[in-house]
Structure 1
Amino acid sequence: MTASADSTSSSPAPANTPASAYDWLGGEAQVRALVDRFYDLMDLEPAYAGLRALHPSSLEGSRDKLFWFLCGWLGGPDYFIERFGHPRLRARHLPFRIGIAERDQWMACMRQAMQELAVDGELQQRLDGAFMNTADWMRNI
């Protein structure tokens, strides 16, 4: 099972920290901006070519699915579940060869997107751990 981004840290959040990672990030518009920057980078940066090769020629469907998933995973609306039911992430990713290189490219791309969007440093750290746990769980080779 994967943990949501809200349950990844055992240290308490500061008193002024929003209740969810979704709110902390800035809500729906910022989740969309993060997803769009992630896929823009994947499409443009040669360092992510292996990861890009696992995706269809058009990234529109992938953008929407990651956006819908992340909204719920971060503690916001469960758009993905409303459309498709349980995410079953590992099962949905089994048709694709995902190893350490693909995991690391995914993580590097997401880290770059978070940095470029100036996501709060503490939130980046928490999300990085949660993303790594999930990305590593997706490996199937």
Structure 2
Amino acid sequence: MTTPGSVYEAIGGMPTFRKIVSGFYAQVPDDDILGPMYPEDDMAGAEERLAWFLSQYWGGPPLFNENRGAPRMRLRHAKFPIDMAAHDRWLELMKNSLDQIDEETLPQAYRQMIWQHMNQLAGMLINKAP
């Protein structure tokens, strides 16, 4: 069930969130900071979970909760050393991904909302001092 009038609906639902997430994950394996944090044998699983999380957050079906339980993002990421460099790189790769999506699919107002959320999320996950 989606939330009527949600960002999820406005930008085309799961296909758009999959584009955002797949663009991000296409960059991760070769990244010197983020690559080592992701298990090679579960890259597809990590990609799926992020698509579920983002789409659910923006009014899509509760796939993350149905498949993984409550997001608890800080707890789920506690085992990874996330410092300011990782924060910055995550945002860099995410911005690269967002920039690959045309404005017709992802209009500027929604792009800015999603980008602001990405910044908040990345900041919340920092768990290691410089």
TM-score past 0.5 threshold: yes
Separation in 2, partners of 1:42, 1:23: 28
CA RMSD of aligned residues (A): 1.5
Aligned residue in 2 for 1:22: 8
Give the CA deviation at 1:43. Answer: 2.8
TM norm structure 2: 0.86
Q: 1:52 aligns with which of 35, 38, 49?
A: 35
Give the CA deviation at 1:23. Answer: 1.8
Asked if residue 101 in structure 1 is aligned to residue 101 in structure 2, the reply is no
Asked if residue 63 in structure 1 is aligned to residue 47 in structure 2, the reply is yes
- Identify unmatched segments of 5+ residues in structure 2: none
Paired residues in the alignment total 121
Q: Percent identical across equivalent pairs? A: 30
Aligned residue in 2 for 1:140: 127
Extract structure 1 runs of 4+ deviating beyond 4 A.
Answer: none
TM norm structure 1: 0.80
Q: In the TM superposition, what whole-angstrom CA distance separates every residue of 1:8-63 from its partner, at most 9, and x where no partner exists? A: xxxxxxxxxx822212321111111211111012235xxx3201111111311111
- Identify unmatched segments of 5+ residues in structure 1: 1-17
